[in-house]
Amino acid sequence: MAPILEVRNLVKNYGSTAAVKGVSFNIEEGEIFSLLGPNGAGKTTTISVLSTLLAPTSGDVRVGGHSVVSEPMKVRNLIGVVPQEIALYDDLTAHENLIFWGQMYNLSGKTLTDRVQQVLQEIELADRAKDRVRTFSGGMKRRVNIGVGLLHRPRLLFMDEPTVGIDPQSRRAILDSVKALNRQGMTVLYTTHYMEEAQELSDRVGIIDHGELIALGTQNELTRQVGENDALVLEVGEGENVRQLCEAAKSIPGVVESDTSGSTLTIIAPEAEEILAPVIVQANALNVKIHSVAIQEPNLEAVFLHLTGRALRD
């Protein structure tokens, strides 16, 4: 069966700045595919091109066999988009928002009414349907934002960092709803910079950095790239000493990579237990206070660090 999404050598430039540099991948019908990368990696630009919002500088993108350049209307009928920002009318009620966006997806009459009711049930906001979106919490707005993308039952759903800036409970609800949608047969392209979300949701993951797809595969395929290395994750204070500790750790025998992100220091090594003591010694010497220590099995964070020499940044 042909992939529902085919991306071939996609390039998108803004003037002289290359935002996406020759990205290629496919998404098969029924899978959840995550584009994982730090902020500014090119995830939103990629999704904007795939969803026909931006024209590619070069390359080819096909959705359901239709080109996003020459057949954008056919593509738009197949896709749903949940943008990163909450793109709703605050002064309309949840019901009015869904009705309006349903009409923009060519729904009308009983079909529209039924779909709106179903979506309100799915996002668990039926009891608040007549309230203005302005009065909703951030999490509730996020749910309506997702609901709009589901109204016309798209074959392929693009979700661009849908959990940014919301509380853990709403985040959990959104992740569960993505899995539920996938169980119903919907294909999902999910972008995130949260490694945990990509790990939990994805059948396959594409890691993107500086506009390039630097890794692509299932989680097992990707973690194999870093071998059998563990990740030693230390929560420490921030400051110049932490950066010195990061550099010093690289000189400890057995350490493969080391990087800091905020107050987190991640060190990759084949046997994390063996480097723990020297790291603590270095931390004491540099007067860095360690709040917690965790040893993690190989994961996507380690993959990103291995491939880029940097931690996934928030």
Query: CA torsion sign, 213 to 219 to 220 to 224?
Result: positive
Q: CB neighbours (10 Å) of residue 250?
A: 12
Q: Which stretch binds other proteins (CB under 8 A): 92-100, 195-203, 275-283, 284-292?
A: 92-100
What is the rounded CA–CA span in Å between residue 164 and residue 157?
Answer: 17
> For other proteins, which residue of 1, 16, 17, 73 counts as binding (CB under 8 A)?
73
Q: Which of 55, 58, 48, 68 minimizes the C-alpha distance to 6?
A: 68
CB 68 within 8 A of CB 50: yes
Query: Which is nearer to other proteins, 76 or 128 (by Cβ)?
Result: 76
Q: Decide if residue 252 touches other proteins (CB under 8 A).
A: no
Q: Decide if residue 96 touches other proteins (CB under 8 A).
A: yes
Instruction: Please name the residue that has the structure tokens 């990103």.
Output: 304
Q: Which stretch binds other proteins (CB under 8 A): 33-41, 84-92, 180-188, 286-294?
A: 84-92
Q: Which stretch binds other proteins (CB under 8 A): 35-43, 81-89, 190-198, 272-280?
A: 81-89
What is the rounded CA–CA span in Å between residue 75 and residue 232?
Answer: 45
Q: Show the binding pattern over residues 13-52: x = contacts other proteins (CB under 8 A), - = does not.
A: -----------------------------------x--xx
Chain positions 181 to 240 lying near other proteins, rule: CB under 8 A, are: none
Q: Decide if residue 135 touches other proteins (CB under 8 A).
A: no
Contacts of 280 (CB under 8 A, 6+ apart): 290
Min. distance of Cβ 180 from other proteins in angstroms?
23
Min. distance of Cβ 50 from other proteins in angstroms?
10
> For other proteins, which residue of 58, 89, 113, 167 counts as binding (CB under 8 A)?
89
Q: What phi, psi does 260 have (nearest 5°)?
A: -115, 150
> For other proteins, which residue of 23, 63, 146, 148 counts as binding (CB under 8 A)?
148
> For other proteins, which residue of 33, 105, 194, 304 counts as binding (CB under 8 A)?
105
Walk across the sheet containing 32-36 and list its strands: 79-82, 156-160, 187-192, 32-36, 204-209, 212-217
Q: Tell me the three state secondary structure of residue 256.
A: coil
Q: Decide if residue 76 touches other proteins (CB under 8 A).
A: yes
Query: Which is nearer to other proteins, 112 or 205 (by Cβ)?
Result: 112
> For other proteins, which residue of 87, 277, 281, 285 counts as binding (CB under 8 A)?
87
Min. distance of Cβ 103 from other proteins in angstroms?
4
Task: Give the DSSP letter of residue 121.
Answer: H
Chain positions 269 to 298 lying near other proteins, rule: CB under 8 A, are: none
Alpha helix stretches (DSSP H) within the chain: 43-50, 72-78, 94-104, 109-122, 138-150, 168-183, 195-201, 219-224, 240-249, 272-285, 300-308
Residues that bind other proteins (CB under 8 A): 48, 51-54, 73, 76-77, 79, 81, 83, 85-92, 96, 100-101, 103-106, 108, 132, 148
